Amino acid sequence: MKKVTISTLAKMKQQGERISVITAYDASFAKLFDEQGIDVMLIGDSLGMVLMGENSTLPVTVEQMAYHTKSVKNGAQRAFVVADMPFMSYATAEQTYANAAQLMAAGAEMVKMEGGLWLVEAIKGLAERGVPVCGHLGLTPQSVHKFGGFKVQGREQSAADEIVAQALALEQAGIQLLVLECIPTELGERISQTLSIPVIGIGAGPHTDGQVLVMHDMFGISANYMPKFSKNYLAETGDIRKAVSLYIEEVKNGRFPSEQHSFS
């Protein structure tokens, strides 16, 4: 199967083909996901919660991210590989470039950063240096204490308008992919239609260009809790490979997420 690149994802958006994304943390699952035809694997700092049992993503280090990125890359042949830059690993330009370089050297094909307008210069700097960037707006888990918990964002008109403005600014700065987390369905659709780059939703409704799930949520084995936007595909199929295949199929044909997995 042909290797997925950022150009592949851009073409998928243009042609209206939905993008399937899943988190991955090791070579064995990466190989399994690849064989089922997943488009993108995200090495998420969610590993802090689902692998380490922490209450947030904040304790995760760049070294841990690099370790798991290398592991995933060793198992992934076709899928596009994206790695999260963890909390406070991109607070300064010097940190940003050094830590992004470490993740790219470990096998990432793109790095993901959480935040709005304050990231513009960092994104420009990375893009100029050949590092592809994925943005992340809405509920940004690294800001959980600022939000006062894991809460839906953008329900008020002013807040929704601000997220749209941030998305446009990040695209102009050079991001080539955007993740939207825990926002109303209408806002997810609005941003997906506004941006020219692919938009991936997680709790952002069914009208984004693609969907991402945390693999542990998809298999119903998360250490903490099952978010509203997740679906236990393993319970439905009774087989890991069939679960992944069904997830991809339902993303592609628009059956996932349904209204019960979305926010108004």
DSSP-based three-state secondary structure for 237 = helix
Residue 45, annotated ligand binder? yes
Q: Which residues contact 46 (CB under 8 A, 6 or more apart)?
A: 23, 57, 84, 141, 214
Considering only CA atoms, which of 20, 22, 59, 27 is closest in space to residue 44?
22
Class at the top of the CATH hierarchy for domain 6-261: alpha beta
Residue 114, annotated ligand binder? yes
pLDDT tens-digit series, residues 241-255: 999 999 999 999 999
> Residue for token digits 């790695």?
83
Considering only CA atoms, which of 110, 109, 78, 82 is closest in space to residue 2?
78
State the number of CA atoms in the 13 A half-sphere of 183 facing the CB: 30
- Annotation marks residue 189 as catalytic: no
CB 170 within 8 A of CB 186: no
Marked catalytic residue, from 17, 181, 189, 259: 181
Residue 128, annotated ligand binder? no
CB 159 within 8 A of CB 169: no
DSSP-based three-state secondary structure for 154 = coil
pLDDT per residue of the chain (264 residues) written in tens, 0 to 9: 799 999 999 999 999 999 999 999 999 999 999 999 999 999 999 999 999 989 889 999 999 999 999 999 999 999 999 999 999 999 999 999 999 999 999 999 999 999 999 999 999 999 999 999 999 999 988 787 676 666 899 999 999 999 999 999 999 999 999 999 999 999 999 999 999 999 999 999 999 999 999 999 999 997 666 788 999 999 999 999 999 999 999 999 999 999 999 999
DSSP-based three-state secondary structure for 201 = strand
Q: What is the pTM of this model?
A: 0.96
Q: Which residues contact 12 (CB under 8 A, 6 or more apart)?
A: 18, 19, 39, 198, 209, 210
pLDDT tens-digit series, residues 65-92: 999 999 999 999 999 999 999 999 999 9
Neighbours of 247 (CB within 10 A): 25
Neighbours of 237 (CB within 10 A): 15
Interior CA angle at 129 toward 124 and 130, to 5°? 100
DSSP-based three-state secondary structure for 52 = coil
